[in-house]
Structure 1
Amino acid sequence: MDRDVPAQRTPPPRDASTGRVPLAVAVVDENGLVSHWSSGARRLFGVTRQEALGCPAGELLPISGVLGQEEDRGGFGPELDGAPGGSLSYPASGRARIDEPEQGRIDVLWWAYPLVGPGPGRLLVLAADAARVSGAEKADGRDTGTVAPAFALHTDFPGYQELAGRLPEILPSMSVEEATGIVAQVLELGYPVLEFSQLSRIPVTPDWGVPRHTARPLAPGPRGDGEAPEPRAVPRPELDLEYAAVRERLEFLNEVSGRIGTSLDLERTIREVTSAAVPRFTDFAGTHLRDAVLAGEGFPDGPPDVTTVWHRVWVEHNDEPGRWDDTVPVGESIAFPEHTPFFQCMVTGEPVLVPHVGEELSNRISGEFEKRDLRPLITHRSLLIVPLKARDVVLGFMVLMRRPGREPFDDMDRTTGAELAARAGLVLDNARMYTYQENVADTLQDSMLPQVEPRMAGCDIATRYLPGARLGRIGGDWFDSVKLPGSRTALVVGDVMGHGLNSAAMMGQLRTAVLTMAMMEMPPAQLLRNLDDLAQRLGEQYLATCLYAVYDPIRSELQIANAGHIPPVLVRAEDGRAELLDLPTGAPIGVGGVAFETATVRVRPGDRLVLCTDGLVEVRGQDIGAGLAALCASAAHPAASMDDACDTIIRALNPRGGRKDDVALLMARLNGIPDDHVAEWQLALDPREVARSRRLVRGKLLDWALSDAVEAAELMVSELVTNAVKHGRCHHIGLRLVRTGALLCEVSDDEPAPATLLDAACHDESGRGLLVVSSLAREWGTSTTAHGKTVWFEQALGGIPRPRSHSR
């Protein structure tokens, strides 16, 4: 061999680990805007995810020539959709130098893939710092020469199955469907590789995971004294990769933390947590919650046991469709057996790691579950179960699994999974508390609002209550209807100033007071006067508006008093005209020292009265007069039913459901009672009038073709008239029959003492009259005024019960 000719050096073989470089990953949508931006992209280009999303891709990515003519405008329309004439219908790569504010000029290697399919992504961009590649090669004692990005079939490399399996880890956090579609297209178009001047090619893999350590010898270092050199440590790239792996996991947790908790909806929160882990951290994720937590029943008591029922809220995986649906369906409630890793996790509250589920363990776990075979799903997989805890109580747990061929879970993964679960547990507990408070507020509000009868004597009623958009969904708006003697009906609507539990509590007190005073037949103005006094006794900050109306369907009139409330709307049946009633306004309840007035309004059958709170008509920044005008216009709109009329008003004045205040709406159609359905008589204070009253009632009921009601009505009327004759002071007793949906009978006298139901002994000769009425009537009652009292009963028409034997 000629000594002057140097020997040819064969390039050393390269392995796949050489290609481990931090990658920047971005996805661009059809409008040329960035839709996904990884943490690696933030580090390489110095732009945060919040700043990048929605930004034109041409302003951030150095992919010269890919964006076509639209690059300057940040959009490229259909040119990346693979259509004829498009500028990128195949993958492209290149090298560019850019000026980065913090790092100065950097050399960037990039790969670009056109994307097709139903998802929004139209371009996938990978990028890496060329200096990192060259620096790694030089630290390994190799001459890099020229490094260029390129593409190759992933099957050209050893361990190509692992390369394909790890490809989803390159992608930023996105749904499984999006990631699966992008991975398939990347594998079809060509795997990203680095091409060196020695024509060596190595596959690019993400800087994620901790490689096995290899021993590194100590290299001799120079000494200035001529003695033997001191050994010094050779740089270990593995240590850098360990730090990078820890950093990647922390950034993964930060990205997940930014994605979860966007809503206080419990199930949506769980879906966000579960989906965030797949496919970047795991291939399968299933989340279970305690049934009590999901139902919003408050914080669960004590640790779980074999009787605890768990609800599978969500499952996410990148396996073939339908693989898990039959065996572990979403929505299933299940109690987990004792001798399983799932039970161990939920009882101890600690993560459970099974690096490899062998056939023996798979058979044992599957055998604990009846009527389901888990072996095809868990055998030869890596299993990690992490608890979802809040205040040291297990609320649920997540089951994580990796497929064969992917790196099994290790201790670092267990720590990462535990931290993921800890952050999810905090968000989950917030959502749980919100759901619980919502349930409590709804229950409290529902219990305070009355169940209004849709049909009263001479009128039909429809109501609506809409909670405001504030947290808690509870306030001080209320409505009510009260049945009064004489076939009259009291209609009430009120609004306590403020919001929340204090307003709701005051509303409950005022509503009870109005109901009590209405049964005492107080005139509207006097009722509001007494309510005002009560509010001042309850506290200085008790303020409310109230509108109280009494409808007499026999006289066809309304008596109304107002305490600072918005006026009602009366829709005339004759011409469909809607008008605001001009009433004395009065001051709100709780102001004190202000007189209230009662106004009388004549109405006709078919007229409609609309009462509401100001939350329906008041909009910030607008005059309330505009809202009242809109209320009149919508109330006058024809409707097929009362419910439809209420819905029309709500839609017209609350089109987007965005009002901040509560809304209470009460509508009454004033049908009236025809004159021929009312019969009145004056009876003398004479015992012989008892027999006459029975004859009068019999005759009128036969005229009304109510023969089935005669026997019971005669008996009850005779009892009431007998009491009136016995206790009355004047010369006249009033008797009135009113026929509506039921038969109403009233007996009036001038004795102010209310009628009392007595417990008569077996030898007593009297005291059983009201017992008879109470047993035969559907309802009965007594009311007193300054001039006397009225005792009334209401008898159902049809299916009249036969009177029971009694003695006087």
Structure 2
Amino acid sequence: MDRGSERDTPPGRDTGSTAAGRIPLAVVVVDRDGLVSHWSSGARRLFGASREDAVGRAAADLLPVSGALPEDPHGGPMPDACAQYDGPGPDLEASLGGHTAYATAGRARLVPHGRAQGGDRLDVLWWAYPLVGPGSSRLLVLAADATRLRDERGYDDETAERISPGFARHTELPAPDDLERRLPEILPNMGPGLSGRIVSQVLELGYPVLEFSQFDRVPVTPYWGVPRRPGRPRHQAVVPRPRPVAAVIPEGAEQDLEYAAVRERLEFLNEVSSGIGSSLDLGETIREVTSAAVPRFADFAGTHLRAAVLAGEGFPDGPPDASTVMFRVWVEHNDEPGRWDDTVPVGEAFAFPEHTPFYKCMSTGEPVLVPRVTEELSERISGEFEKRDLRPLIGGRSLLIVPLKARNVVLGFMVLMRRPDRPAFDDMDRTTGAELAARAGLVLDNARMYTYQENVADTLQDSMLPQVSPRMAGCDIATRYLPGTRLGRIGGDWFDTIKLPGSRTALVVGDVMGHGLNSAAMMGQLRTAVQTMATMETPPAQLLRNLDDLARRLGDNYLATCLYAVYDPIRGDLHLANAGHIPPVLVRAEDGSSELLELPTGAPVGVGGVPFEATRVEVAPGDRLVLCTDGLVEVRGSDIGEGLAALCESAAHPAASMDDACDTIIRALNTRGGRKDDVALLMARLNGIPDDHVAEWRLDADPREVARARRLVRERLLSWALPQAVETAELLVSEVVTNAVRYAVSDPVGLRVVRTDALLFEVTDDEPGLPAMLSAGPGDESGRGLSVVSRLAREWGASASGHRKTVWFEQAIVGRG
């Protein structure tokens, strides 16, 4: 049948045509014992036996497919055996444990069930598919009435005699999904697992076709002769010969309540599938899945999930047991409001005992159907809930418990109930509920996996974002980080503050392009590289060049923007370099004005071949520097200039504290609609260090200068009213200056003391080689100086710049006045 028309094309007319032919099909499933396990309405119409008479009966008594059935246990001829057989011949049949190893087909004449032997015989076309895999089903049989094919479609005797059933690869024919879509519809009371397995094997073994010659194959699809949906016009078949005949609707098809019920359930499942899974948020998905069943399928639905699923952890290990705690995560019903709230509250954790139907469902992974909850069962279930009487709620209701599974692991289950005034759940409802749960389980597992990946990314990103100290030498720091609001929101935004020699502080903000685990991991790599290069006192422009080289070595897709600034509180300036990042805002303490600093923008790191330039900006004590990522100022559909202007305005707003200032910016900009990206915000108040808190001297490269250094330090500390720090400071300065004058070449040795929250001592000489802490033996006369410094100082280190090096250490101020 041509999909574009509503008439059947006689297959013999168009040689080589592959237009699909729709004919009524009987569908039968035979189990491993040769007994009928599923019998469709089409089989009843074709062979005359009702489902009640056919199911459980030997298939050889009803079907003409002798070559494909198990051997008759009595060894005798099969009843109603083929009187005439035309088909592919015995070369397609290979016995394998009483079953054929390949799909077979044939044509037979037989007496329908219930008719006398002398009556008219049916001319039957049949196809048989051996089924493999778990379960008892071993053979699928499709059959059609060749007589009706001839009479209703107008084939003459010559054409009808040339018709024989056969197989073709589904790739050779158009629209093989027709059979895949229609087969489950005509197999009532069959679960989705078996239907899917049957369809996959049908398509693998060969698509059923009618063969008219070696070159003419017509694919067969089921045709029931009734409209797909109520209200659609019935198809009329135009018959070319011998005379026009209206399409014959299969007897009883319009009154086929079973088919209507199947169609209704399929429509329900299709609507459910389109309505759930709209979000990957686990909580929203749970609500969608639970609400989908009420009120069309049930009057009450309650979803229970395992703790690992609810927490977004990894995939649960093994099947649940009596000790597995299930959480009631959502309840939906159409009873009066509040009726269930106190008795079955959402959020309750419960381990279900072995004698309950809930345990049976979650341990076997199969649906549990209770047509009516008896008084005894309601008392048994209610007895598991302390101080709550469930009997008025569940007594007399129909109960269906379906497992929520993914990859054959039970994630939880759904409890479905109908009020006593509704029809009780039956076997077809059990199948529908199982399919509903299968689709819901898949959606829930997708949300669980997404939640799990989000948690992993959150943990990774949180571990990489620094714990910034609010006080650095000469400046105060405040930060904020806001995750994005879109799917895969975890990104590569980061900020950092790095302590540098000379009481300086490096301020960094960056944004890796993209989102997800890869971006978070790249952010960690770049942040580590920046920290390493910063402590080596790499100048800002050179640091970005090195970072650019690193990003290109890591991969082609490693792109990030970065703004790197070094604040020197003694000199009172900022040394900045920019790699494609939005410019910082500087708020002047003198008049409260704010401005975007004009910096050479540069290109993002990872582009390669682009120079980076550094700029110095003079700052005054009390000025504030605001650095952020573009997620704060850039909104889809708006000019980024508007966001930058809003940033400048909000940054200049007076605030009682640094935290209040950050909150003011976030409130002003984060409320603008459309923000989906993550945000990193870093604010530094540049307090500076007063001149009278810094002391510097130049010492000759002479050992006698060590005593002078001790004296200078003592006098300075006493003038700062820090007598308790003198003794330790003299000892440590003596050790460091001794090493400096010993190895200095010609230039004087520099000594500087800076007072902030601690005492910073710096000794500079013209020997660029960095010192190493040695392990001195009992008889060694030297090699203990740095060990003493390491033991008594709060922190110490060394850095080289050009042909000079600086050794520094910090000493805590104890009992300062």
Q: Same fold (TM over 0.5)?
A: yes
CA contact (8 A) 1:638 1:645 kept: yes
CA contact (8 A) 2:304 2:413 kept: yes
Match of 1:575 in 2: 591
Q: Does structure 1 residue 508 correspond to structure 2 residue 524?
A: yes
What code does the residue aligned with 2:742 have? Answer: K
Match of 2:506 in 1: 490
Superposed CA offset, 1:268-294 (max 9, x none): 222233233344433432211011111
Match of 2:371 in 1: 355
Instruction: Give the superposition deviation at 1:602.
Output: 1.1
Equivalences for residues 209-608 of structure 1 within 5 A: 241-318=257-334, 324-365=340-381, 377-404=393-420, 406-608=422-624
Q: Give ranges in structure 1 of 5+ residues lacking alignment.
A: 1-232, 801-808
Instruction: Give the superposition deviation at 1:678.
Output: 1.6
Instruction: Give the superposition deviation at 1:605.
Output: 0.4
Q: Does structure 1 residue 666 correspond to structure 2 residue 720?
A: no
Label 1:497 to 1:427 Cα distance change in 2 as closer, same or farther (>3 A).
closer
Match of 1:76 in 2: none
Equivalences for residues 144-159 of structure 1 within 5 A: none
Match of 1:733 in 2: 749
Label 1:236 to 1:264 Cα distance change in 2 as closer, same or farther (>3 A).
closer
Determine the C-alpha separation between the residues in 1 that align with 2:419 and 2:799. Answer: 79
Determine the C-alpha separation between the residues in 2 that align with 1:279 and 1:621. Answer: 41
1:705 to 684, 699, 721: 721
Instruction: Give the superposition deviation at 1:390.
Output: 1.5
CA contact (8 A) 1:441 1:473 kept: no
What code does the residue aligned with 1:408 have? Answer: A
Label 1:497 to 1:788 Cα distance change in 2 as closer, same or farther (>3 A).
same
Label 1:634 to 1:355 Cα distance change in 2 as closer, same or farther (>3 A).
same
Label 1:248 to 1:573 Cα distance change in 2 as closer, same or farther (>3 A).
same
Label 1:581 to 1:708 Cα distance change in 2 as closer, same or farther (>3 A).
same
TM-score, normalised with respect to structure 2 = 0.64
Superposed CA offset, 1:362-397 (max 9, x none): 454455667766556544443221101122211110
1:642 to 658, 670, 674: 658
CA contact (8 A) 1:441 1:472 kept: no
CA contact (8 A) 1:753 1:789 kept: yes
CA contact (8 A) 1:442 1:473 kept: no
Superposed CA offset, 1:591-623 (max 9, x none): 444443332211100111122333433455655
Instruction: Give the superposition deviation at 1:468.
Output: 4.0
Instruction: Give the superposition deviation at 1:688.
Output: 4.1
Determine the C-alpha separation between the residues in 1 that align with 2:757 and 2:312. Answer: 42
Instruction: Give the superposition deviation at 1:311.
Output: 1.3
Determine the C-alpha separation between the residues in 1 that align with 2:387 and 2:776. Answer: 67
What code does the residue aligned with 2:413 have? Answer: F
Instruction: Give the superposition deviation at 1:360.
Output: 3.8
Determine the C-alpha separation between the residues in 2 that align with 1:754 and 1:617. Answer: 44
CA contact (8 A) 1:337 1:369 kept: no
Label 1:244 to 1:668 Cα distance change in 2 as closer, same or farther (>3 A).
same
Total equivalences in the alignment:
567
Superposed CA offset, 1:650-678 (max 9, x none): 34344335234443332211110111222
CA contact (8 A) 2:489 2:677 kept: no
SS in 1 for 2:467: coil
What code does the residue aligned with 1:311 have? Answer: F
Q: Give ranges in structure 2 of 5+ residues lacking alignment.
A: 1-249
Superposed CA offset, 1:268-327 (max 9, x none): 222233233344433432211011111111322222223322211012345566654445
SS in 1 for 2:695: strand
Label 1:692 to 1:435 Cα distance change in 2 as closer, same or farther (>3 A).
same
Match of 1:138 in 2: none
Label 1:409 to 1:595 Cα distance change in 2 as closer, same or farther (>3 A).
closer
Bigger drift between 322-331 and 447-456 goes to 322-331
What code does the residue aligned with 2:739 have? Answer: N
Determine the C-alpha separation between the residues in 1 that align with 2:809 and 2:772. Answer: 14
What code does the residue aligned with 2:359 have? Answer: F
Instruction: Give the superposition deviation at 1:722.
Output: 3.0
Label 1:285 to 1:656 Cα distance change in 2 as closer, same or farther (>3 A).
same
Instruction: Give the superposition deviation at 1:486.
Output: 0.6
Bigger drift between 737-746 and 551-560 goes to 737-746
Label 1:636 to 1:338 Cα distance change in 2 as closer, same or farther (>3 A).
same
Label 1:375 to 1:592 Cα distance change in 2 as closer, same or farther (>3 A).
closer
Q: Percent identity?
A: 82
Instruction: Give the superposition deviation at 1:554.
Output: 0.7
Bigger drift between 252-261 and 299-308 goes to 252-261
Superposed CA offset, 1:34-54 (max 9, x none): xxxxxxxxxxxxxxxxxxxxx
SS in 1 for 2:491: coil
What code does the residue aligned with 1:426 have? Answer: L
What code does the residue aligned with 1:412 have? Answer: M
Instruction: Give the superposition deviation at 1:257.
Output: 3.6
Label 1:248 to 1:506 Cα distance change in 2 as closer, same or farther (>3 A).
closer
Label 1:622 to 1:716 Cα distance change in 2 as closer, same or farther (>3 A).
same
Determine the C-alpha separation between the residues in 1 that align with 2:253 and 2:749. Answer: 111
What code does the residue aligned with 2:659 have? Answer: D
User: Alignment RMSD, CA only?
Assistant: 3.1
Label 1:397 to 1:639 Cα distance change in 2 as closer, same or farther (>3 A).
same
Determine the C-alpha separation between the residues in 2 that align with 1:571 and 1:696. Answer: 39
CA contact (8 A) 1:552 1:558 kept: yes
What code does the residue aligned with 2:784 have? Answer: R
Q: Does structure 1 residue 683 correspond to structure 2 residue 702?
A: no
Q: Does structure 1 residue 780 correspond to structure 2 residue 796?
A: yes
Superposed CA offset, 1:92-139 (max 9, x none): xxxxxxxxxxxxxxxxxxxxxxxxxxxxxxxxxxxxxxxxxxxxxxxx
SS in 2 for 1:511: helix
CA contact (8 A) 2:457 2:520 kept: no
Equivalences for residues 751-766 of structure 1 within 5 A: 751-766=767-782
Superposed CA offset, 1:187-211 (max 9, x none): xxxxxxxxxxxxxxxxxxxxxxxxx
Match of 2:626 in 1: 610
Determine the C-alpha separation between the residues in 2 that align with 1:506 and 1:321. Answer: 51
Equivalences for residues 130-169 of structure 1 within 5 A: none
TM-score, normalised with respect to structure 1 = 0.64
